[in-house]
């Protein structure tokens, strides 16, 4: 690997050298920190990542059954139940039976839900801006491209899930 950068992956300066060579560790650490920043930001408005994933999926793809929503959002069907309960209680979504298939529920966003998604989007955009601050626009594009290829590779192969 080209050693053109003096990498520091953890706070402090006592990081084992071996960590620097492991991609999974690096992405993991970066993501963990970014995730925490995002999590704290969401927590500030009483939301969790699961809430955002579900609301974002609904905003992007429209109403869906819970099974379809689970597939789209990446939240497990079993976990989705509780998340939807909370979102219903907060008035962000509605859950009603599907007249075409009585096994299913149809999940739809409310007006408040639409506003909530926009609010959470703004918050996460701010987090992204903060996290990516040291990179230029071109570098962000480059990072996006590289990560995209790795991600597509991981999704294509049967590595996980």
Partner DNA sequence: CGAATGTCAGCACTACTGAAATCG
Partner DNA sequence: CCGATTTCAGTATTGCTGACATTC
Out of 43, 45, 74, 97, the residue judged to bind a copy of itself by CB under 8 A:
74
* CA quadruple 111, 114, 115, 121: dihedral, nearest 10: 170
Which stretch in 26-34, 78-86, 89-97 sits in contact with a copy of itself by CB under 8 A? 26-34
With contacts defined by CB under 7 A, name the span among 16-24, 63-71, 132-140, 147-155 that binds DNA: 63-71
Within 12-104, strands assigned E span 93-97
Applying CB under 7 A, among 7, 27, 32, 150 the residue interacting with DNA is 32
Residues recorded for the chain: 161
Dig out the tokens for 28 from the structure.
């993991």
Would you count residue 43 as binding a copy of itself (CB under 8 A)?
no
Please state, in angstroms and rounded to a whole number, the distance separating the CA atoms of residues 14 and 10. 8
Among 46, 66, 67, 103, which residue interacts with a copy of itself (rule: CB under 8 A)? 67
Per CB under 8 A, does 104 bind a copy of itself?
A: no
**127 contributes a contact to DNA by CB under 7 A:** no
Which residues within the stretch 96-115 sit at the binding site for DNA (CB under 7 A)?
98, 101-105
Output the six-digit token pair for 18: 């071996």
| CA 117, chain centre distance (Å) | 13
């Amino acid at each position: 690997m080209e050693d053109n950068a003096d990498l520091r992956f953890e706070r402090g300066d006592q990081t084992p050298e071996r960590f620097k060579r492991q991609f999974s560790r690096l992405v993991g650490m970066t993501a963990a920190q970014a995730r925490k920043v995002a999590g704290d930001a969401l927590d500030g408005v009483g939301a969790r990542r699961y809430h955002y994933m579900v609301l974002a999926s609904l905003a992007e793809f429209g109403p869906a059954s819970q099974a379809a929503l689970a597939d789209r959002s990446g939240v497990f069907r079993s976990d989705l139940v509780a998340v939807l309960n909370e979102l219903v209680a907060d008035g962000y979504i509605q859950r009603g039976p599907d007249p075409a298939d009585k096994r299913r529920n149809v999940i739809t966003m409310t007006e408040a839900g639409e506003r909530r998604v926009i609010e959470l989007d703004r918050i996460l955009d701010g987090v992204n801006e903060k996290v990516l601050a040291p990179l230029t626009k071109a570098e962000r594009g480059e990072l996006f491209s590289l990560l995209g290829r790795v991600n597509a590779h991981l999704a294509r192969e049967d590595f996980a899930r």
